[in-house]
């Protein structure tokens, strides 16, 4: 499989699990926030967030 894609998916899953309440069927309502959190978090490989790499600012 694609290691990079699997890593991203695992990170998103971890974020969603942290924010879910008892009703885990509502995971889709947390996806937008999880994607935002992932996009503004600096990555070790670049020392920058994907957002900063795309837009040039935090």
Q: Where on the phi/psi map is residue 41: left (φ > 0), alpha (ψ -120 to 50), or beta?
A: beta
> What is the distance between the terminal CA atoms of the chain, rounded to a whole angstrom?
32
3-58 pLDDT, tens digit per residue, is 888 888 888 888 888 887 777 778 888 888 889 998 999 999 899 999 999 999 98
Rounded Cα distance between 47 and 28, Å, is 29
Assign 45 to helix, strand or coil: coil
Which DSSP helix (H) or strand (E) runs through 3?
Answer: helix 3-19
**pLDDT tier for residue 1 given thresholds of 50, 70 and 90:** low
Domain boundaries, the chain: 3-55
The structure's pTM equals 0.64
């Amino acid at each position: 499989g694609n290691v990079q894609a699997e890593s991203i998916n695992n990170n998103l899953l971890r974020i969603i699990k942290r924010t879910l309440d008892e009703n885990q069927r509502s995971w889709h309502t947390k996806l937008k926030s999880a994607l935002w959190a992932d996009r503004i978090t600096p990555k070790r490989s670049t020392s920058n967030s994907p957002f900063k790499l795309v837009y040039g600012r935090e």
